[in-house]
Structure 1
Amino acid sequence: MADPAAICPWHLPVWQSLTTRDRQPHAFLFGGPAGIGKRRFAEAFADWLLCLKPRPGAACGECRSCQLRLAGSHPDRLLIEPEEEGKAIRIDAVRQLADFMAQTAQQGGRKVVMLHPAEAMNLNAANALLKSLEEPTAETYLLLITDQPSRLLPTIRSRCQVLSLTAPGHAEARSWLAAQLPELDTGQHDALLLMAGGAPLRALQLQTMDAAALRRQVVEGVKSLLKREESASRLAETWTAVPLELLADWFCDWTLDLLRLKTGAVERPLNGDMDKVLPYMARHVTVPALMEWQDWLLQHRGMILGKANLNRVMLIETLLIQWKQLMEKR
């Protein structure tokens, strides 16, 4: 990942600025929306920091340090992440980090620790990390990566150099995605980016999940629910393959479209696959009911993202019942 070509093109200006500094702080926090290339950026920066003969803006790829890194066996590079996806980073992992930082670099250069996703640390782990941040070791760099900087302790954020990495504009995102998925047409690229909130790497991931097919299933289910052809409980039991994160995001998007339609901000919804449902709903819902629903939805989306132990079927059933009841509130 040391080649700048591996860095997403929309982050190259930040990359050039960062790698031409005379000195680097000991801790970085790379924040920004999910799926925009933060981890690619941090991995490339770790490679550059470890390189013994870095070129302008890139690791050389030839020194012993680079060769060890390319072989996946660099002794001065450590990745801290959850033992299982969606689980917490616990204090034992942060203690391992502290031990690693206290050691002398085996290659005689720098040491680098990457911690991803930083918001996955539980409170004990986060408090333990503070000690390493407060007592940095010379030539040791800590790279934290997060989709949700607000979930980190303020004391952690304040001890890091915060770099907010942004998503590209739609045209650049679509051009990049088209190069990755040339078998799809422009409409499919746009649909993926809409579902991904404009995040290109997230859009690429959604394609591997066949999210478009899952979305069609959910859209048809919602239409059947509103027509009283299907029940909320039945849909909740059949949507077993739909990740809760996607479901929450789609309902958030539809709710925003409803608010735009209701307030006259737009004439047609941005979500074209709901272009008949949402205008119909907008004519029958009230703004107070929408705001109350949105509060509930955002609260439970936060619980989903925070990996709360939720009853999946019950949550989806409740969500669908409340969605349907929106038009009944006056």
Structure 2
Amino acid sequence: MAEAYPWQEALWQQLAGRTQHAHAYLLHGPQGIGKRALAERLMALLLCQRPKGLEACGECKSCLLLAAGSHPDNYVLEPEDTDKPIKVDQVRDLVSFIVQTAQLGGRKVVLIEPVEAMNINAANALLKSLEEPSGDTVLLLVSHQPSRLLPTIKSRCLQQACPLPGFEQSLAWLGKALPDSDEQERLELLTLAAGSPLAAVSLQAQGVREQRALVVDGVKKLLKQQSSPSQLAEAWSAVPLLLLFDWFCDWSNLVLRYQLTQDEEGLGLADMRKVVQYLAQKSSQGKVLEIQDWILVQRQKVLAKANLNRVLLLESLLVSWAMLTAQR
């Protein structure tokens, strides 16, 4: 049974309480807030033969088959490999499933995550099934980045934004999810996860705090001319590229914010506050805006799974970063 998160309760009452369901839902919001669990919970309810109130019973034939991963009227579509696109052949297999008659005589339910992983051909292959799914079929599309979806995909779904929990609610939940961590560690993880509690748990499992310490130390050495861009690009080989771009994008935002406000409360996590303040005082807004634009473009390429030369990309980033404090 999928976990029921407290911050989803109002949305769950709204979705589960519907007397008539849409043929396609687009559940969207930041990664790490429990959208997949919400979709799985709704999937179980839609397939259940004897629902108990607003929940699946967990005991009927349909619930038992779903729990065993062998329900004939349930289809989950996701990338075959992590960080790979959903291919058009996968969508064609899904379309073949959709046109079939439900074997248990009830609904067929499809879950696609993340829907933005579909390439253009795969997305186009899904359009007709999204518009007119055969029989009593419900499609649950989960998206972390709805801005990357084709308008024709979004227009065929009932779009539902999923709530991000409040900071205090997230910290309380993390206290139970990570009982061996202290409050400061949970606070740092939640900040690094942009307030998404499940993402914070994932970051902790990946050892992201240790990776960030390595990167922060490297940035300080770069600015002191104690390490070169090529040395750091090599030293950071184990750090995910997207994480690096997220951090540098965040730091450039903090630099700009301090240049505009001089607000020392808005300097971010303690590990980079002095560096952010130094860069804000020594660099021009024009240079910071220029490198921020470049970072955003490269980050988008990473998200799009472009074939990038990681070392050259990081060297370019670090050369530009080091040049921020050069003569204006």
* Residue correspondences, number: 327
2:222 counterpart of 1:222: no
Equivalent AA in structure 1 for residue 43 of structure 2? A
Matching of residues 1-330 of structure 1 within 5 Å: 1-2=1-2, 6-264=3-261, 266-268=263-265, 269-328=267-326, 330=328
Contact persistence 1:117–1:147 (CA under 8 A): yes
Contact persistence 1:86–1:307 (CA under 8 A): yes
Q: Secondary structure at the match of 1:283?
A: helix
Aligned partners of 1:305, 1:267: CA distance in 2, in Å? 32
> What TM-score results when the alignment is normalised by the length of structure 2?
0.97
Q: Secondary structure at the match of 2:264?
A: coil
Equivalent AA in structure 1 for residue 11 of structure 2? V
How far off is 1:95 after superposition?
A: 0.9
Aligned partners of 1:68, 1:169: CA distance in 2, in Å? 36
Aligned partners of 1:329, 1:192: CA distance in 2, in Å? 36
How far off is 1:329 after superposition?
A: 5.4
Aligned partners of 1:284, 1:188: CA distance in 2, in Å? 31
Equivalent AA in structure 1 for residue 286 of structure 2? P
Aligned partners of 2:258, 2:147: CA distance in 1, in Å? 30
Aligned partners of 1:221, 1:232: CA distance in 2, in Å? 9
Residue-by-residue CA offset, 1:138-171 (whole Å, 9 max, x unaligned): 2111111111111111011001000111211110
Residue-by-residue CA offset, 1:26-63 (whole Å, 9 max, x unaligned): 00111111111111111111111100111222100011
How far off is 1:178 after superposition?
A: 1.1
Aligned partners of 1:265, 1:21: CA distance in 2, in Å? 50
Aligned partners of 1:310, 1:275: CA distance in 2, in Å? 31
Aligned partners of 2:212, 2:249: CA distance in 1, in Å? 14
Consecutive unaligned residues in structure 1, runs of 5 or more = none
Aligned partners of 1:229, 1:134: CA distance in 2, in Å? 59
How far off is 1:209 after superposition?
A: 0.5
Q: Secondary structure at the match of 2:111?
A: strand
Contact persistence 1:257–1:271 (CA under 8 A): no
How far off is 1:7 after superposition?
A: 2.2
> What TM-score results when the alignment is normalised by the length of structure 1?
0.97
Contact persistence 2:101–2:135 (CA under 8 A): no
Residue-by-residue CA offset, 1:276-298 (whole Å, 9 max, x unaligned): 11111111111111111111111
What fraction of aligned residue pairs are identical, expressed as a percent?
Answer: 50
Aligned partners of 2:219, 2:33: CA distance in 1, in Å? 30
Equivalent AA in structure 2 for residue 319 of structure 1? L
